Structure 1
């Protein structure tokens, strides 16, 4: 299989592995996402500055640790999350995770497509009818880099990430001048309230679906340290920066989106460039994720075809306004996605002791009762938990899975003793 197809149904070979900066830039481009800023905006209006910093630190440390754990498994095996799901959910059972992860990504793609069209219509004072045309243009335009593959994602990210960091620095500097220095932030009284646990859940849960599927790129890492450190850089530092930027904008300008903040600061051109860089680097990664899940779901290696189909579905959802209905459900899926990654890690470390056999060298059941049962129990615990739901789902599903495989492994010994 050619490297340009990015190995949708097999492990990434060692001669196709990437170095630190390649992996880091692609992952950072993925985590620089507008919706994370909106989450930060909620926190900025609900927490004091010191509380905000603690929430950002703890929430993104948890997210980074979870994502980095999966990243190492992906590096070690060369497989992404949907392929790893076959080991713990079964050949057919893994389609559950394919659907959950794929549906989440196509929903985010619809949201991003609609968002950039809507914002451009507002910024440029265009007729409302232009929004549909722009959705068609961007819906298919943003998938071009994903269609090409990892190399195109890397090139775009290496250009966009430094540019976005520069734009963010300009905005924060201007904001600190307007507010009278960072010391003044500590004097701002929150206009709303949010429980500490709910705040952590918001930070951790908003992008945990992305962390679960970041294995699509960490599996290309040349070494374990590269996979782990680049993922931590993206999901701890990068995602944390996005939360802070959103909170900062809300506290100073009552605007969480940096594009709106840049416009209010008088930087219209920078705002438009930031909008394109921010949305495109996430959109192409998102549709790439969908293609990975779709290839595993339908057992096809036609990644590029699945990419275009996914872009078409996302564009239709955006045009018909269904993204407005999907977003609350997608955020809810933040509760149901973390158990998938937790079970994958438990399967790798506990059941297989860090040494997975190749997919073509092992006979897997159609449905793995242990993995599926652990997923149901972990997801239920997260859904009904009054505490940090994603964290509860991770711990409960991993522990329950380990318990089930221990019972199953002990069963033959019990039967032998009885005989």
Structure 2
């Protein structure tokens, strides 16, 4: 009896990683919109608003940041529909564009490093906030490493159970976060007034720079959109979940980051709540905001590691645990604090991947699932297009430029040397 119960609980956890999601396991757009919204609400999203608020006047900051999210939504919808069509995650999709080995040794490695790194960094912020809260307001001293491990494991557990667990978490956390964020903003205005809104700012960032900054904060999540949208039933559902999940919460956190920086001198909603005398609400806000985002980081990194090492597909849960533990350990001991700049640099390498994938699927493959063909080894046209686009984007210091450049270069090169993804030659089993 006990074994039957354990097996039933085990079966609730999502198992497979790279194989297509069956039709009966696909979800409605509202459920996935909550998951998408949960990814957007995190401390870095508030930080984005703060950076813009300190670099330009209020309205240009808000408008440029909002346009950045428009780009995010457009690119996510295009890449997300690919995942919906085929029912597979981003790393699997790249087996056509970059070849089986290119998808494993280039794309999946870049995705995994980035996702594990940010999981560890955000988990470290959460653990530090919890330790400080318990010490100052409860009188209990908890070692920072213990806090990091505790919350890292909790966030990791959600990722291990899969998208259904993320969905349940976000159904609860998103409404609660909306209430807490609204309360914090009202209290900040009550305590500090609106005098800071009129303060003059010496513009140190261009309008287009603000657009780029907004996109860059969500670059990896944009390019790996299919990790979540593969659970959608239709292309229409994919677009609706992205638009209603990403755009509102992205813009709300952006605007709050701008307003709180101007009003309270602090972009972090959790710290603002603590400053106005609501420490419990503050720490709850930070934990929930980190949890909803970080679980997805761990979940997606698990998919990429399965791809890199050709681990049996039904070992997704175990691999996710390993990926999360690596992030926890690196973050707990401060190792990731020294590589945060490197992780940001990876955006220059990640963005062109999306452009090349879009060109291959939507233009060369005419947007038809039956024209998607994974190929053996490296798809040289895809790899070369990615490399050239990454170099150009880096030289121009515009990460999202890599998407457009990658798309254009691939289409040009593909006219002279047709990609193996066009046909069945040298294709491998999907």
Separation in 1, partners of 2:351, 2:240: 20
Q: Is 1:328 aligned to 2:337, yes or no?
A: no
Q: Counterpart in 1 of 2:33?
A: 24
Q: Counterpart in 2 of 1:290?
A: 301
Which of the numbers 97, 118, 130 marks the counterpart of 1:108?
Answer: 118
Deviation digits for residues 362-393 of structure 1, max 9, x if unmatched?
5613100110001001111110115xx12311
Q: Counterpart in 1 of 2:153?
A: 140
Q: Counterpart in 2 of 1:415?
A: none
Deviation digits for residues 66-99 of structure 1, max 9, x if unmatched?
1111111111121211110101000101121100
Contact 1:335 1:390 in 2 (8 A): yes
Q: Counterpart in 2 of 1:236?
A: 247
Separation in 2, partners of 1:130, 1:410: 54
Separation in 1, partners of 2:349, 2:244: 25
Matched pairs, number: 404
Which of the numbers 257, 262, 268 marks the counterpart of 2:268?
Answer: 257
Structure 1 residue runs without a partner (length 5+): 412-419
Contact 1:106 1:310 in 2 (8 A): yes
Q: Counterpart in 2 of 1:49?
A: 58
Give the SS at the match of 1:353: coil
Q: Counterpart in 2 of 1:247?
A: 258
Separation in 2, partners of 1:6, 1:224: 24
Q: Counterpart in 2 of 1:313?
A: 326
Structure 2 residue runs without a partner (length 5+): 1-10, 421-430
Contact 1:109 1:283 in 2 (8 A): yes
Q: Counterpart in 2 of 1:414?
A: none
Q: CA-atom RMSD, angstroms?
A: 2.1
Contact 1:49 1:185 in 2 (8 A): no
How far has the Cα of 1:4 moved from its partner?
3.7
Deviation digits for residues 215-245 of structure 1, max 9, x if unmatched?
2111101121211121122332222222222
Q: TM (normalized to structure 2)?
A: 0.89
Contact 2:382 2:410 in 1 (8 A): yes
How far has the Cα of 1:176 moved from its partner?
3.7
Q: Counterpart in 1 of 2:352?
A: 339
Contact 1:211 1:235 in 2 (8 A): no
Q: Which is further off, 192-201 or 143-152?
A: 192-201
Q: Is 1:171 aligned to 2:171, yes or no?
A: no
Contact 1:6 1:12 in 2 (8 A): no
Contact 2:66 2:211 in 1 (8 A): no
Which stretches of structure 1, 4 residues or more, deviate above 4 A after TM superposition? 126-129, 178-181
Separation in 2, partners of 1:185, 1:61: 28
Q: Which is further off, 334-343 or 101-110?
A: 334-343
Q: Counterpart in 1 of 2:410?
A: 401
Query: In the superposition, relative to structure 1, how do residues 236 and 6 fare at CA in structure 2: closer, same or farther (>3 Å)?
Result: farther
Separation in 2, partners of 1:254, 1:224: 42
Q: TM (normalized to structure 1)?
A: 0.91
Contact 2:120 2:331 in 1 (8 A): yes
